[in-house]
Chains A and B, each alone.
With several copies, the nearest count.
Chain A
Amino acid sequence: MNAFFALVQREVRLATRVGGGGGMAVFFFLIVLSIVPFGIGPDLNLLTRIAPGMLWVALLLSALLTLDRLFQADQEDGTLDLLVLAPQPLELTVLAKAVSHWLTTGLPLVIAAPILGLMLNLPLDGMLPLMGAMLIGSPALSLLGAVGAALSVGVRRGGLLISLLVLPFYVPVLIFGVSASRAALVAVPGDLGGQSLALLGAVSLASLVVGPVGGAAALRVAVK
């Protein structure tokens, strides 16, 4: 367990020291969201309508953009060999990696969500449920992403490959995440928010298993 926390601490420290940690992710998120109105026009009604979707799509993208270095950097400087050879089970190592990824991208975005919601004219009282949905769904992005990152270790232009491998798996997160958020924000009649939220939780729990197990299997193969 000690090893687990040591790895999380190191990863978070690396992220803060070189990339401004979570700040960078929030900043990227902000820029993507402010680019969208340029793309689709400044119609505020339309923007509000697609806001939950935009928030989630931006969340996916900022997760994707940071995933490709998750294991690749360690492979390039020889750290990966030592991680694989360490006494700590590789599954835990992958989990630690995913947790640190979430701490530096998912979590900051959840915290920043209200500000962004404000920019998109979302109702204030839907904010907490929205944050709840993001909080429940975002770990799945890091966990599933870890599998993609592990699969593409040692492949150049891994960044694009990861997107291709991972995005299909993000689809359920996106569907449930958006429908839970929409229920929270737009107050759909016959509210399905609770059910989507439960399904979102189920996806996150499932990826809590799939991520470390699949990631470790992929890494074991990739170092050889």
Chain B
Amino acid sequence: MTTSEPLTGLTVTKLCCVRGERQVFRDLSFHVAPGDMLSLVGPNGSGKSSLLRQLAGLLEVTDGEINLDGAGEDQTVADVVLYAGHLDAVKAPLRVSENLSFWAAFYGVSATQVEPALEAFSLGHLGHLPAGVLSAGQKRRLGLSRLALIDRPLWLLDEPTVSLDTASIAALGDLMRSHLKTGGSIIAATHVDLGLEGTRVLDLSSNGGASL
């Protein structure tokens, strides 16, 4: 649990996003401090996923700036960010526990963290099953259990609640709450209310994008 240095904030200034020649949003500015939760809302196509990918460094920044306030000289976005997109990055032929163990090893987390991370989403008893037989929601939970495994200050979540049942949504809420409490920040795109206190909302529908 030592990979992450505390991040004192993320500042986004006049960020623009152009995809396929079309302006998705422009002049987006906001600041996220430790302990902040920012909820991205807006109709389909307003650019929530695009913004998250830009923040993660997975999409070209057309114009504007993204700054990590507390980051060291040689620290890149990738050292600070944990990204969970639409896809779960789960390999069907590997067992549930093997899937997570791999990410532990690859992100330099001790193997002893795997069990607790699975438990965070009540997947412990499914550990020996091949991931291919999981139901949609179980697979999603396996993807999300990386949040409990890898320690990064800034979480970028793209519709994390998709396919989850009520119990799992509550588990995700707990995990997010404790992440915020320990000084982490979260930016999450979602169409449903996660019921987290003090959530700030960024509505992308009004941000100058072509009205798609």
- Which residues of A come within 8 Å of B, CB atoms? 2-3, 5-7, 9-10, 13-14, 17-18, 76-79, 81-88, 156, 223-224
Question: Known: A6-B106, A85-B78, A85-B81. Contact between A17 and B93, CB under 8 A?
Answer: yes
A78–B106 contact, CB under 8 A?
no
Chain B residues with a Cβ under 8 A of chain A: 3, 56-60, 78-79, 81, 83, 85-94, 98, 102-103, 105-108, 143, 146
Whether B94 pairs with A87 at a CB distance below 8 angstroms is: no
A-B contact count (CB 8 A): 73
Give the 7 A-B CB pairs with smallest separation, nearest first. Answer: A78-B87, A6-B105, A78-B89, A79-B89, A17-B93, A18-B93, A3-B106
Inter-chain CA distance A18–B79, complex, in Å, is 33
The 15 listed contacts between A and B (C-beta, < 8 Å) are: A5-B105, A6-B102, A10-B94, A14-B93, A14-B94, A17-B93, A17-B94, A18-B93, A76-B87, A78-B143, A81-B58, A82-B89, A87-B107, A88-B106, A156-B92
Could you tell me the dominant secondary structure of chain B's interface residues? loop
Cross-chain contact B59 with A77 (CB below 8 angstroms): no
What residue in chain B is nearest A76 (Cβ atoms)? Answer: B87
Are A3 and B88 CB-contacts (below 8 A) given A17-B94, A85-B83, A87-B78? no
How many angstroms between the C-alpha atoms of A61 and B89 in the bound complex?
Answer: 29
What's the minimum C-beta distance from A189 to chain B, rounded to whole angstroms?
A: 52
Q: How far is the CB of B211 from chain A (nearest CB, A)?
A: 25
A224 CA to B57 CA, complexed, in Å: 8
Q: Once the chains bind, are B94 and A2 in contact (CB under 8 Å)? A: no
B93 touches which of A78, A79, A83, A156 (Cβ 8 Å):
A156
In the bound complex, residues from chain A placing their C-beta under 8 Å from that of B56 are 81, 85
Q: Give B51 Cβ to nearest chain A Cβ, in Å.
A: 14
Known pairs A6-B105, A6-B106, A87-B3; A77 contacts B91 (CB<8 A): yes
What's the Cα separation between A6 and B109 when bound, in Å? 12
Specify the chain A residue showing the minimal Cβ separation from B86: A78
Chain A residues in 8 Å Cβ range of B85: 78, 81
